[in-house]
Amino acid sequence: MSIRATNLLVPVISVILGLLVGAIVMLVSGYDPIVGYTALWNGIFGDLYTIGETIRQITPYILAGLAVAFAFRSGLFNIGVEGQLIVGWFAAAYVGVAVELPKIIHLPLAILAAAAAGALWGFVPGLLKAKFHVHEVIVTIMMNYIALHTTNALIKTVSDGGDRTESIFLSASLRSEFFQNLTDFSRLHYGILIALAMVAVMWFILEKTTLGFELKAVGFNHNASEYAGMNVNKNVILAMVISGAFAGLAGSMEALGTFEYVSSKGGFTGIGFDGIAVALLGMNTPLGVIFGATLFGSLKYGALNMPNAAGIPLEIVEIVIAVIIFFVASGYIIRLFLLRAAKKKEAK
């Protein structure tokens, strides 16, 4: 079996194992897995409305996945997507509320604000990594909490002590009448087009520019890159900034598309952490991220139907996702298994 085929098989097997474990958990706790997964399926593809909502859910997952994948390709682990997403969400909503401008200026401005906020939040760990060799994992985790508490405080200030901002002006909204009519008035918005465009942008940066070449080189071996005359520090910072910008954009999807406001949060949205799963499953390639985001976005949205239709707590899907991450991360053992199976076949 070729290496390429095994690489593709690892995510597929992981997903199957994840769903299998989910079925076993349901069975053991006294639910019918078939009823459960049927409810999940209907929650994803049941009718036009649910399909629209599913695609809406996939949108931020694509961007969060891109953020994690982009950093991974440069040899960095960005666990801070969650925090970058939160500050992006706030920045976009703030611009959406604070001023009223013609749509052609207002909407891009709000989106850019989100990207800039996310980029700033990515810049800090990037800078610390480059200048002080501080591991980015810990800094980004800490930045997540700083983002959470800071935006909550800012929301309080902006809304005069309230828990959420006003709804944004229509001129900053991504709302799409076309998509709404198409999908039986779901909240599907133009953001999906932005997300898909960003997939192309990431592919272009990585495959067609000198910057992308350098970023990947630094990811493979930063000593060799330095020896070849590349500025490793600059590339590390840039990788985190671009990754943060993707994450910030994911936040703007929630701010300008789905919710059209920002409210203070007791905990994380989870989209950033699921972005890690999306990127891993997509093997950190732009196209793979679309598949990963589609799978996890669908599972997440479809799960909402499970309590009503089958009486099963929706957390079962979170369990499935966690198990999938676990198996993708343990790819070594799956590869070993596949290798042995292939050898046995040859021996026969």
Partner 1 sequence: MSFLEVLYFIVPSAIFYAAPLILTAIGGVFSERSGVVNIGLEGLMVIGAFVGILFNLLFADQFGNATPWLALIAAMAAALLLSLVHAVASISFRADQVVSGVAINLLAIALSLYLVKKIFDKGQTDFITERFPRYDVPFLSDIPVLGPMLFSKMYNTSILALVVAIVAWFVIYKTPFGLRLRSVGEHPMAADTMGINVARMRYIAVMISGALAGIGGAIYAQTISGDFGHATINGQGFMALAAMIFGKWHPLGAMGAALFFGLAQSLSIVGPSIPYIKDIPSVFLLILPYVLTILALAGFIGRANAPKANGVPYIKGQR
* List of residues contacting partner 1 (CB under 8 A): 25, 29-30, 77, 79, 124, 128, 132, 134-135, 137-139, 141-143, 145-146, 149-150, 152-153, 266-267, 273, 276, 280, 313, 315-316, 318-319, 321-323, 325-326, 328-333
Cβ at position 193, least distance to partner 1 in Å: 30
Q: Is the CB of 144 or the CB of 173 nearer to partner 1? A: 144
* Residue tagged 């999306």 (tokens): 278
Q: Is the CB of 111 or the CB of 316 nearer to partner 1? A: 316
Cβ at position 311, least distance to partner 1 in Å: 10
Q: Is the CB of 7 or the CB of 330 nearer to partner 1? A: 330
Backbone torsion region of residue 209, taken as left when φ is above 0, otherwise alpha when ψ lies between -120 and 50, otherwise beta: beta
Compute the distance between CA of residue 59 and CA of residue 300 in angstroms, rounded to an integer.
12
Cβ at position 213, least distance to partner 1 in Å: 25
Cβ at position 59, least distance to partner 1 in Å: 21
Compute the distance between CA of residue 44 and CA of residue 274 in angstroms, rounded to an integer.
18
Cβ at position 143, least distance to partner 1 in Å: 8
Q: Is the CB of 138 or the CB of 339 nearer to partner 1? A: 138
Compute the distance between CA of residue 11 and CA of residue 5 in angstroms, rounded to an integer.
11
164 strand-pairing partners = 263
Q: How many helices (H) and strands (E) does the chain have?
A: 16, 0
* Element (DSSP H or E) covering residue 93: helix 81-98
Q: Is the CB of 229 or the CB of 267 nearer to partner 1? A: 267
Cβ at position 348, least distance to partner 1 in Å: 28
Compute the distance between CA of residue 33 and CA of residue 22 in angstroms, rounded to an integer.
8
Cβ at position 266, least distance to partner 1 in Å: 5
Cβ at position 218, least distance to partner 1 in Å: 19
Instruction: Kindly state the tokens that stand for 11.
Output: 């995510």
> What does DSSP assign to residue 73?
H
Q: Evaluate whether 274 touches 61 at the Cβ level (below 8 Å).
A: yes
Q: Is the CB of 213 or the CB of 273 nearer to partner 1? A: 273
What is the three-state SS of 280-343? HHCCCCHHHHHHHHHHHHHHHHHHCCHHHHHCCCCHHHHHHHHHHHHHHHCHHHHHHHHHHHHH
Q: Is the CB of 122 or the CB of 191 nearer to partner 1? A: 122
Q: Evaluate whether 232 touches 222 at the Cβ level (below 8 Å).
A: yes
Q: Is the CB of 38 or the CB of 150 nearer to partner 1? A: 150
